[in-house]
Amino acid sequence: MTWTSSPPGTPVTDAVLAAAADRTLPAYLYDLRHLADHLARIRAAFDGVDAQIELLHAVKANPDPALLTVIAEHVHGLEVASGGELAHVRAHLPGVPLAFGGPGKTDAELTAALAAGVDRYHVESRHELRRLDALARAAGQRVQVLLRVNLPTGFGGGAALTMGGMPSPFGMDPAEAAAAAADLAELPGIQVVGVHAHLASGLAPADCAALAEVVLSWAAQFGRRHHLALREVNVGGGMAVDYRRPDQIFDWAGYARRLAAIAAKHPSLTIRIEPGRAISAYSGWYATRVLDLKPSHGEWFAVCAGGTHHLRTPAAKGHDQPVVVVPAEQWDCPWPRPSVTAEPITFVGQLCTPKDVLARQVRLPGIAAGDLVVFAMCGAYGYNISHHDFLMHPAPTVVHLR
């Protein structure tokens, strides 16, 4: 099959193109073997270093049960961030160890987590700690907790999304965490076993490791100061996925080596990481067709079936989704086919909003109405973070390649 892509190096497999050509579109296509191979490489990176590092996965990146089933075979556990994710994962993968995070947990969610036997609670505030204590004691439990902290890291390096080191609703400031530690004498239902921090997303390996070092050093000091026998530090996710350079995959082996060097300074602590997008982004594609192609005030627009109600990430994050275009041979209409060569194309969807843009000013040799358009790197934060109901278009087909 002949195809062109932008940027060069945009990943797509023959199996994905064949399946896309054959299915009702728009469709999400998930290549489960691709995902398993990717995860095997990640696991090999951590198995290759001498350090206690545990790999969790943030379910919010993509709750697709088939994906989670593959992922669960390669990780130590899953991080869920709502009662919905908790129930979903327990229904599909009953035995997988769970960490329960997320700001604003309700009593009903905490009660469900206690009933589900969640392994770790990532607690975000003193009030949440007290509520969890009361609910745990009522359920006859003593639960294992990581205090989520928002550290003033002074770290400015290139994060795509910053969630800490500045005012934010996530976690506790160091002073609040210290007060929470002091509260523990009155909270017999709580055993604090560690610290959690997810401070940024979109980090290169060196930045990711530097942030982990900040968190580990802080946690070790915090444990000493408050006489807490901490045994683990979860340094979060945030490993970069570069949508502008699809061939630049996060260097897991380099990251694992850096993390191992940091772990050696803290031998009593297990490091946990909980990546989301860097696990599944590369194994999903969103395929559609060009419905219409037209010039507008000097620019060309390819209007595709579907749009940001299926794939909101490029609009939300402001990037151009990497794209592959496969020319369609068939043209059944009796009038000339809309087509253009050597003009930058903006790919949009069917929504009545100028924000419904999937990729801007894409340079391709040519494009025509009816062509197959396959967006790559759609395996994370794709359909599940999109505003499905706007304009009430149908949901995409979901295809699993095995």
Ligand X SMILES: Cc1ncc(COP(=O)(O)O)c(C=O)c1O
Catalytic residue IDs: 352
Q: Is the peptide bond before 334 cis (omega within 30 degrees of 0)?
A: no
Q: Residue 206 CB, nearest distance to ligand X (Å)?
A: 16
- Which are the contacts of 343, defined by CB distance < 8 A and separation ≥ 6? 300
Distance CA 149, CA 176 (A): 9
The encoded tokens of residue 122 equal 């990532």
Question: Per the structure block, which two tokens stand in for 73?
Answer: 């075979």
User: Angle at CA 259, nearest 5°, toward 253 and 265?
Assistant: 145
What radius of gyration do the chain's Cα atoms show?
23
Which span sits near ligand X by CB under 6 A: 268-276, 315-323, 334-342, 355-363? Answer: 268-276
Q: Determine which residue in the list 114, 172, 260, 278 makes contact with ligand X, applying CB under 6 A.
A: 278
The nearest distance, CB 356 to ligand X, in angstroms, is 24
* Minimum CB–partner distance for residue 160 and ligand X (Å): 8
Compute how many residues bind ligand X; rule: CB under 6 A.
16
Torsion of CA 310, 313, 314, 318, to 10 degrees: 150
Which of 10, 82, 201, 283 binds ligand X (CB under 6 A)? It is 201
Q: Smallest distance, Å, CB 212 to ligand X?
A: 13
Selected binder of ligand X within 38, 76, 90, 277 (CB under 6 A): 277
Rounded to a whole number of angstroms, the minimum distance from the CB of residue 264 to ligand X is 24
Q: Which is nearer to ligand X, 207 or 356 (CB)?
A: 207
CA–CA separation, 160 vs 200, rounded Å?
7
Contact set for ligand X, span 27-46 (CB under 6 A): none
Amino acid (1-letter code) at residue 180: A
State which residue, 79 or 232, has the beta carbon closest to ligand X: 79
Q: How far is CA 317 from the centre of its chain?
A: 13
Q: Which is nearer to ligand X, 238 or 379 (CB)?
A: 238
The only residue of 26, 101, 194, 379 in contact with ligand X, by rule CB under 6 A = 101
Closest CA to 383 of 67, 49, 48: 67
- CA separation, residue 120 to residues 34, 168, 226 (Å): 30, 23, 20
Binding ligand X (rule: CB under 6 A), the pick from 38, 198, 258, 310 is 198
Q: Could you say which residues in the range 51-80 bind ligand X, by CB under 6 A?
A: 58, 60-61, 79
Number of H helices and E strands in the chain, helices first, is 11, 21
Nearer to ligand X, 166 or 395 (CB): 166
Say how far apart CA 362 and CA 5 lie, in whole Å: 9
Six-digit token string for 2: 């002949």
312 binds ligand X (CB under 6 A): no
Give, as ranges, the residues between 219 and 248 that touch ligand X (CB under 6 A): 236-239
Residue nearer to ligand X on the CB measure, 286 or 347: 286
Q: How far is the CB of 68 from ligand X (least distance, A)?
A: 14
Q: Which stretch, 211-219, 275-283, 290-298, 364-372, contacts ligand X (CB under 6 A)?
A: 275-283
Euclidean distance between CA atoms 328 and 368, whole angstroms: 8
Cβ at position 245, least distance to ligand X in Å:
17
Q: Where are the alpha helices (DSSP H) in 226-251?
A: none
Binding mask 141-170 for ligand X (x = CB under 6 A): ------------------------------
Using CB under 6 A, pick the residue from 164, 276, 284, 307 that binds ligand X.
276
Q: Which residues of 234-246 are buried (b: 16+ CB within 10 A; e: fewer)?
A: bbbbbbbbbbeeb
Q: Contact residues for ligand X (CB under 6 A)?
A: 58, 60-61, 79, 101, 198, 201, 236-239, 274-278
